Amino acid sequence: MTAAVYVSFPVSPDAYPANPDWHAQLCFFVFQALRQKFGDRVVFYPWETPPPLRSADALVTFLPHPALVHWKRSVLVDNETFDVDKWRHAAFRRFGYNARVSRVAHHDQPLARQFHRIVLCNDVILRRIETRDSRVAERWDYLNAICDGRITVHPHPIDKAFFGRLYNTLPVPDRARMLVYDGGWRKNSAELIELLRRTGFVEEEDFAIVKYIDKRDDHLVRYLLQKFFFVGNASFSESGPINMWEYLSSGHIVYGHEDWWDGAGNLRLCWSYDPARMEENAANLDFLLRGMSWEALVAERDRLWRWWMERTDNEWGRVTDDVGDQVDKLLRSSHPAHYSRDQSVQSPIITLSDVPLRCCADGTGTEVLLHGWSQPEEWGTWSVWNKAAMRFCVKPLPERPIALEIFYRSFLQLNHPKLHIKCNVGHHDIAEWECTLSKPTGLARLLIPVDVIGRSGEVELNFTISTPRSPAALGVSSDWRALGIGVEWIRASEV
């Protein structure tokens, strides 16, 4: 029986464009692209209705779809900033003082071992990922690890034809005014509003405050384009307010938080929460709303519009092509439908012998790779975080210590010349070694005492890998996995 592709989002694919909400866009463009590529095997299922998934099927959805906790043959399309502090703030807002505020982790189990995750970001976050900025690097590495390195990132797409349809069709505003979004914690512009008032700007003359704009109201959208040059949102939100890109497409000048908006090079358009920079914020607002001539405002509006509309990386086609490619790979793969880290799950068995177990795409050694590893390749498997683990059962049950040999390679470059690896079983440190440019590959021999092997013969090895780096961060390629050591084969024998 042919495998099915189930698409499940909160909004049906036929809702757009009557409903211009971003979720409606997402479902419409993804569903249409998959239907074009895979035909009638693509079926939409409402969010509340569990799809009848079988072992070879594929699911296309986003968090927090309830099936993701147990179903792992999925391609996810969602938003993420990888920003640790921003996540902690969001977790507090959602869960109060009982929030689980780990440095990098929260309710991420649904993401573990999913086939692929396509993440939509703003330009600021994309640059932070590229430069390994400390605000995002740790969580980026963590999420890459639990997804086994299967993450691609794109700028937020938008239906530019729909939202840009009114550009230059209406009279422009006669002067500088700002429409300020302030409604709830995701659109919290309270500090911006206070500063506007303190700087002498008058509400309903120089700026207006709104909680929500219904973009289905065409008369209202037209009115706003003729009334306000600027649309402002000073909240850092979770992923950057997506509706700001809609305003940008229609012909407004966006003023926003520097965590998601860089003004396309005009830093006067960026708001900072930093108390030490409030005077700078005030000076910028004064310049934008009082200091710019009408001609300069029109020129800046047109510059931003061209900058946004002439880009091709922010179009739905880029995302849907990626979705289609990943679904195609998934349908042709043997990726398991279910995965559990429960300790009751039977660990793979390693027989004490002289025969090495290869950790490549068609090798049996990959079964021992528990987490922190990427997809197996032709030669072996890379670690993709600073933590990785192996788990297996030794048969027959040894009476003496066992030696686990690991033939490895390491990802090193001239600007990243060294890695340090430690391995422990429980609280027992059993091995430690260093990879250098002069010795990037080798055979690690790990002696595992009998007293740390469980009664069932089970062993779990935990590796700590210092400062793994991605090829993209080092300027080698576009690969964003934080590569450490690559395991080619393993072999267990009694000492």
Residue 223 has pLDDT above 70, yes or no: yes
Q: What value does the mean pLDDT take over residues 396-422?
A: 93
**Does 139 lie in the same domain as 62?**
yes
Transcribe 85-153 into DSSP letters: HHHHHHHHHHHGGG----SS-SS-GGGTT-SEEEEEE-HHHHHHHHTT-TTTHHHHHHHHHHTTT-EEE
The C-alpha angle 112, 27, 329, rounded to 5 degrees, equals 50
- What band does 185 get if pLDDT is binned at 50, 70 and 90? low
CATH number at residue 189: 3.40.50.2000
pLDDT at 364: 86
Distances (CA, A) of 173 to 108, 166, 213, 295, 302: 46, 14, 18, 11, 13
Does residue 341 form part of some domain? Answer: no
Could you read off the pLDDT of 334-362 as tens digits, one per residue?
898 876 444 434 567 777 777 899 999 88
Q: What value does the mean pLDDT take over residues 437-465?
A: 90
Integer Cα distance of 148 and 144 in angstroms: 6
**Does 325 lie in the same domain as 304?**
no
**Does 249 lie in the same domain as 165?**
yes
Does residue 227 form part of some domain? Answer: yes
Does residue 231 form part of some domain? Answer: yes
Q: Which two structure tokens, joined as six digits, stand for 127?
A: 């640059």
Does residue 485 form part of some domain? Answer: yes
Integer Cα distance of 332 and 347 in angstroms: 26
Residue 438 has pLDDT above 90, yes or no: yes
Residue 99 has pLDDT above 50, yes or no: no
**Does 232 lie in the same domain as 325?**
no
- What band does 105 get if pLDDT is binned at 50, 70 and 90? very low
Best mean pLDDT range from 73-87, 264-278, 283-297: 283-297
**Does 221 lie in the same domain as 133?**
no
Q: What value does the mean pLDDT take over residues 248-271?
A: 94
Could you read off the pLDDT of 355-381 as tens digits, one per residue?
899 999 888 888 888 877 887 888 999
**Does 135 lie in the same domain as 105?**
yes
* 8 Å CB contact between 487 and 406: yes
Residue 88 has pLDDT above 80, yes or no: no
For residue 173, what are the domain limits? 161-309
Q: Cα–chain-centroid distance for residue 242?
A: 15
**Does 132 lie in the same domain as 226?**
no
- What band does 143 get if pLDDT is binned at 50, 70 and 90? confident
- Structurally, the chain folds into a number of domains equal to 3
Does residue 63 form part of some domain? Answer: yes
DSSP 413: B
Q: How many CB atoms lie within 10 A of CB 56?
A: 16
**Does 476 lie in the same domain as 369?**
yes
- Phi-psi region for residue 467, left (φ > 0), alpha (ψ -120 to 50) or beta? left
**Does 165 lie in the same domain as 125?**
no
**Does 214 lie in the same domain as 102?**
no
- What band does 186 get if pLDDT is binned at 50, 70 and 90? low
**Does 412 lie in the same domain as 289?**
no
Of the residues 279, 309, 339, the one at which a domain ends = 309
**Does 286 lie in the same domain as 177?**
yes
Q: Which two structure tokens, joined as six digits, stand for 42?
A: 């693509």
Does residue 55 form part of some domain? Answer: yes
* 8 Å CB contact between 222 and 172: no
Of the residues 296, 331, 366, the one at which a domain ends = 331
